[in-house]
Each structure stands twice: as structure tokens, then as C-alpha cells.
Homo-oligomer: A and B are copies of this chain.
């Protein structure tokens, strides 16, 4: 049973930043990745629609007999965890809780900023999780919807990218936060621009590495860590435009994707 794969889904390619950390921290585990590129982005859609899409994505992964499902998308994690946990018999891990925990550990002045998509910010999922851990923390959050298309376009250090980041982040600077949570899997690719705009005193947090640690902890606690000795054969699926998925996805994964397959349920 322990050599069953780990299932990960995202609205598109962004979740590959989570896969990158899984490769590092769980190198023996086989990964089945699903990007819902036919319906991307989720960040401007309603919670009801995202819940429906998330259940369909989980059902697809369950066909591969996965031992755990990782919701790599912040928007899906902030809206659909309850439904997914109810719907699915294996453990389900999202990206909000691990990111929130890391931010609380890192902040010194108890002022945390959170950026993400419209739906993630509107859900207040990060605010709830952070307040759960430490009610005294002051949280400021804001949607930055242009960051996703900038990353998809590959404009990671353009003049326009800085202008957009400055406009979005000005209020966080005025507020004096010392920790900024990147509440969207696309944003780590803009870490350099965001870091420059915010200044060196602000710690930039992305959930990807914390999620991998959480998955490790859960699998270990259940005695479900893989003990296979052979190199795992990972599989990547997309619901549309697999060539585009491979080309853009390699930027997120940081290594080559040899092949992506079309998932046909959408």
C-alpha cells in the first residue's frame, strides 16, 4: 500500500512549484500531477464552481489509487477542503494551513501580509488559519490578479512587472509588515521583484516547501512512506493544451517534463 502514488492537482501549471519541493523532500515518492488547464484560472471564479471542479479533479486522481491528495492550488484550498475531505477516503492536504503556520513562525512584529487571487483573498482562509494559530497577529490581505498572467507571459523582471508590483504592494509597505505570504502558486516566480519592492527586512513566504513537509509528516505518521528502491516514474496530466503545459510548466518545475498526457474528463 505504501508504494501507491501521491496525487496532486492544481488549476494549471502553478502547482508544479509544489511538485518541485516534493521531489526534494520526498524523492522516493511517485507523483501523479493533474493541471486543470481547460478551466484555468480558478482565482476569479465562484467558490461553488471551484468546489465542483475540485471534486472532479480528485475523482480523476483517485483512479490512480493515490494514497493522499495534495491540493496545490491556493484558490481550491481556500474554498473546497471541507467538501474534498468529505468526498474522498484518503487524506487531503491543502496549501493554506502550512503557509499560515510558516508565516506565524517567521514574523517578529506580528504583522503579516497575504497576497493571492480574488477568490482566495475573499475567502479569508489565510486570515482564519493565522488567527487560529495566533489571534493577536495583525493581518492585511489583498488580491493581485495581474501577477498570474505576468508569470504565464514570462515577464518576470520587466519594467511593467515592477510598476504593477509597486502599485499592488504600496499599502503593505505603509503598514510595516515584516512577513508576506505568497498565497498563489504562481507568485514564487516573482519572488525577486516582490522582494525588491518590499525591501530586505520583509520575509517572503511561499507554501510549497511547507506543504511537502506536511505531506512527509502525514505519510510517516501513517506508515505510508514509500520504501521502493527504484526511481519513481511520475506522470503529468492536463485537461487541455498539453504542449503549452509542458513548455510553461518547466519554468515552474525547474526541470524537464518529458511528457504530459491529456486528461479527458472535462
Binding site for B on A (CB under 8 A): 37-40, 44-46, 48-49, 145-146, 148-150, 152-153, 155, 158-160, 163-164, 167, 240-241, 244, 266
Which residues from chain B contact A160 at a C-beta distance below 8 Å? 146, 160, 163-164, 167
**Contacting A163 at CB < 8 Å: which of B37, B145, B146, B163?**
B163
Contact call A46/B240, Cβ cutoff below 8 A: yes
Which residues from chain B contact A46 at a C-beta distance below 8 Å? 240-241, 244
Tell me, rounded to whole Å, the shortest Cβ–Cβ distance linking A52 to chain B. Answer: 9
Contact call A45/B37, Cβ cutoff below 8 A: yes
Tell me, rounded to whole Å, the shortest Cβ–Cβ distance linking A53 to chain B. Answer: 9
Q: Quick one: copies of this chain in the complex?
A: 2
Which residues from chain B contact A167 at a C-beta distance below 8 Å? 158-160
Which residues from chain B contact A39 at a C-beta distance below 8 Å? 38-39
> How far is A38 from B36 in the complex, measured between Cα atoms in Å?
13
> How far is A151 from B45 in the complex, measured between Cα atoms in Å?
17
> How far is A146 from B161 in the complex, measured between Cα atoms in Å?
11
> How far is A109 from B46 in the complex, measured between Cα atoms in Å?
48
> How far is A19 from B174 in the complex, measured between Cα atoms in Å?
43
Which residues from chain B contact A45 at a C-beta distance below 8 Å? 37-38, 240-241
> How far is A44 from B244 in the complex, measured between Cα atoms in Å?
9
